[in-house]
C-alpha cells in the first residue's frame, strides 16, 4: 500500500474520438469504406501515449509542452475527471485539483456553500472545513462577496476562490493546471507562497504551466510531453533547457522567406577567438544584406532558446546589397554557464519589420553555474551578478 501523496503512472494511454467531419454523402461513404477495411485509425485520436512516471509524497513534478501535447489530459486523469484507455494510474490520499478556472465550483451556490461542498467531496468533516473557513476567505479576498452566488463573480474572483479552497483544505496531492495566469501579479505570488507552504507540510504538487519561470521555481522534476509522448524527463532545469532548444529549432524552421534583410553569417566569441565566459567579454559579429540600400535598426536579444530574451541591444546602420559587416561588443556578459541563442530582428526607418524576430545563432557560455533559488521564488532572467558580502559587529 502506497503512502498518501504517492502518484504512480504506468504506461498510460488515452484516446478520444476524432473530430466530426462534414455530414456529406461522400464523407459518409469514406467512413464506411474505412470500417469495412478494418481501418479504425482515423476514428480515434491519441492524446497520451505510453507515459510512465512516479512521484513520491512531498515531491513536485511539472508537465511542460506545447498546446495539445496531453498535459491537461494527464492531470484530469490524475484528478479522476477521466480515466486512461490503457495502463494503470494510482494516486493515494485526498486530491485538491485546480484544473480550470472555477473547476469544482458550482455557479448557483454561494462562495460559502461551495467551500463546504468542496470540503465534503474531499472527505473532510464540516468542523474541519469550518476551522479553515476564515483562512480561505481571507486568502481569496472575498469577505464582502462570500455569500454571493459564484455566477456573479468575475473570472479572477472565481479563480481565487477555487485556488484557496483547493490549497487550504490540506490535500495530500495538489494538482494545478495553468489557471494562475488569470490572477494579477500579487495574487500569483501569494499562490506560489501557499504552494510552497503546502509542499513543506508534505503535500505532493503536480503542476502544468507555460510559464517556465514558475515551473523552475516550484518543481524539482519535470516531464516534457510532445504530442502525447514523453520527449524528456528529469531535473526541471535540464528538461526546460531541452524544451527551449526545441522551441528555437521550431522558430528557425518556420522563419518567413519574404525577408528584406538577410543575415548571412554570425560568429560569437570573447573577441579574441576564445569561448565566452560568465561576466567576461563577448563579441557578436554578423553580416547583413538587403536587396536595396536600407536605413535599418538592428535589434539583438540573448535567450535560453525561447523568444523572450534575457536582454536586448540595438544599433542603427545602413544595410546595402553588397553587405554590411557589424560587430557588437559586450564588456561583461552577465550570463551563467549554459547554452544560449542569439535572436535578431531588423526594422526600417518607419518601424516596419524588415526581418522577423527569429534565432540566428547558438553559443555556449563557460564559467559560473546558476544558483538554485529557493522554492517559490520566480527568477525571470538567468543572470549572474558579481557581489561581495561584509559582516560588521
Q: 223 and 84, same structural domain? A: yes
Residue 149 lies in a domain: yes
Q: Residue 258's pLDDT is what?
A: 60
Quick one: CA dihedral 372, 374, 378, 379, positive or negative?
A: negative
Residue 114 lies in a domain: yes
Q: 358 and 216, same structural domain? A: no
Residues whose CB is less than 8 angstroms from the CB of residue 86 and which lie 6 or more positions away in sequence, other chains included: 11, 12, 13
Residue 217 lies in a domain: yes
Residue 384 lies in a domain: no
Q: 262 and 177, same structural domain? A: no
Q: Is the pLDDT of residue 120 over 60?
A: yes
CATH number for 327: 2.70.50.60
Q: 241 and 262, same structural domain? A: no
Domain span at residue 319?
255-366
Q: Report the domain count for the chain.
A: 2
Q: 265 and 176, same structural domain? A: no
> Over the stretch 225-267, which tens digit does the pLDDT of each residue have?
999 999 999 999 999 999 998 888 887 776 655 678 999 889 9
Q: Residue 320's pLDDT is what?
A: 92
Q: What is the DSSP letter of 320?
A: -
Last residue of a domain, one of 189, 216, 248: 248
Q: b vs e for 76-107, b when ≥16 Cβ sit within 10 Å of the residue's Cβ?
A: bbbbebeebeebebebbbbbbbbbbbbbbbee
Residue 388 lies in a domain: no
Residue 343 lies in a domain: yes
Residue 324 lies in a domain: yes
Q: Residue 3's pLDDT is what?
A: 87
Helices (H), the chain: 25-36, 71-78, 111-121, 126-140, 155-168, 185-200, 212-218, 236-253
Q: Is the pLDDT of residue 336 over 80?
A: yes
Percent of the chain exceeding pLDDT 70 equals 90
Q: Is the pLDDT of residue 143 over 80?
A: yes
Q: 297 and 213, same structural domain? A: no
Q: 282 and 195, same structural domain? A: no
Last residue of a domain, one of 200, 219, 248: 248
Q: Residue 169's pLDDT is what?
A: 76
The sheet with strand 324-330 has its strands ordered as: 262-269, 282-289, 324-330
Separation between Cα atoms, residue 367 and residue 284, nearest integer Å = 19
Read off the pTM.
0.80
Q: Residue 102's pLDDT is what?
A: 60
> Over the stretch 89-104, which tens digit does the pLDDT of each residue have?
999 988 887 776 566 6
Question: 39 falls in which pLDDT band (50, 70, 90)?
Answer: low
Of 163, 175, 180, which is closest to residue 73 (Cα–Cα)?
175
Last residue of a domain, one of 229, 248, 267: 248
Q: Residue 42's pLDDT is what?
A: 59
**Contact predicate 290/320, CB 8 Å:** yes
Q: Is the pLDDT of residue 31 over 70?
A: no
Neighbours of 229 (CB within 10 A): 15
Across the range 370-383, mean pLDDT stands at 84
> Over the stretch 268-279, which tens digit does the pLDDT of each residue have?
999 999 999 999
Q: 183 and 107, same structural domain? A: yes
C-alpha cell at 182: 488569470
Residue 199 lies in a domain: yes
Separation between Cα atoms, residue 186 and residue 97, nearest integer Å = 22
Lowest average pLDDT, out of 113-117, 155-159, 351-355, goes to 155-159
CATH number for 131: 3.40.50.300
Amino acid at each position: 500500500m502506497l503512502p498518501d501523496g504517492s502518484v504512480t503512472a504506468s504506461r498510460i494511454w488515452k484516446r478520444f474520438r476524432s473530430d466530426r467531419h462534414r455530414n456529406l454523402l461522400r464523407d459518409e461513404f469514406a467512413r464506411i469504406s474505412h470500417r469495412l477495411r478494418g481501418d479504425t485509425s482515423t476514428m480515434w485520436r491519441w492524446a497520451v501515449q505510453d507515459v510512465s512516471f512516479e512521484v513520491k509524497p512531498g515531491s513536485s513534478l511539472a508537465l511542460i509542452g506545447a498546446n495539445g501535447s496531453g498535459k491537461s489530459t494527464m492531470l484530469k486523469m490524475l484528478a479522476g475527471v477521466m480515466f486512461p484507455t490503457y495502463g494503470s494510474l494510482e494516486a493515494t490520499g485526498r486530491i485538491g485539483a485546480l484544473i480550470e478556472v472555477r473547476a469544482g465550483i458550482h455557479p448557483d451556490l454561494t462562495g460559502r456553500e461551495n467551500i463546504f461542498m468542496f470540503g465534503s467531496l474531499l472527505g473532510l468533516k464540516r468542523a474541519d472545513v469550518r476551522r479553515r473557513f476564515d483562512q480561505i476567505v481571507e486568502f481569496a479576498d472575498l469577505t464582502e462577496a462570500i455569500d454571493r452566488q459564484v455566477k456573479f463573480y468575475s473570472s479572477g474572483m472565481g479563480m481565487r476562490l477555487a485556488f484557496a479552497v483547493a490549497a487550504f483544505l490540506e490535500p495530500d496531492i495538489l494538482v494545478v493546471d495553468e489557471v494562475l495566469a488569470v490572477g494579477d501579479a500579487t495574487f500569483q505570488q501569494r499562490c506560489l507562497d501557499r504552494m510552497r507552504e503546502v509542499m513543506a507540510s508534505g503535500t505532493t504538487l503536480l503542476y502544468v504551466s507555460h510559464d517556465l519561470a514558475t515551473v523552475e521555481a516550484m518543481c524539482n522534476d519535470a516531464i516534457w510531453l510532445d504530442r502525447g509522448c514523453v520527449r524528456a524527463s528529469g531535473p526541471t532545469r535540464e528538461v526546460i533547457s531541452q524544451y527551449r532548444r526545441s522551441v528555437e529549432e521550431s522558430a528557425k524552421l518556420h522563419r518567413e522567406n519574404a525577408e528584406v534583410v538577410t543575415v548571412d553569417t554570425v560568429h560569437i566569441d570573447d573577441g579574441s577567438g576564445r569561448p565566452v565566459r560568465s561576466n567576461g567579454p563577448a563579441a557578436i559579429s554578423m553580416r547583413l544584406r538587403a536587396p536595396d540600400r536600407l536605413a535599418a535598426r538592428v535589434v539583438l536579444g540573448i535567450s535560453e532558446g525561447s523568444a523572450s530574451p534575457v536582454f536586448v541591444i540595438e544599433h542603427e546602420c545602413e544595410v546595402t546589397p553588397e553587405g554590411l559587416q557589424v560587430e557588437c561588443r559586450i564588456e561583461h556578459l552577465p550570463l551563467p554557464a549554459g547554452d544560449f541563442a542569439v535572436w535578431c530582428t531588423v526594422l526600417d526607418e518607419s518601424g516596419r519589420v524588415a526581418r522577423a524576430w527569429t534565432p540566428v545563432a547558438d553559443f555556449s557560455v563557460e564559467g559560473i553555474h546558476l544558483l538554485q533559488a529557493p522554492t517559490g521564488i520566480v527568477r525571470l532572467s538567468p543572470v549572474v551578478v558579481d557581489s561581495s558580502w561584509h559582516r560588521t559587529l
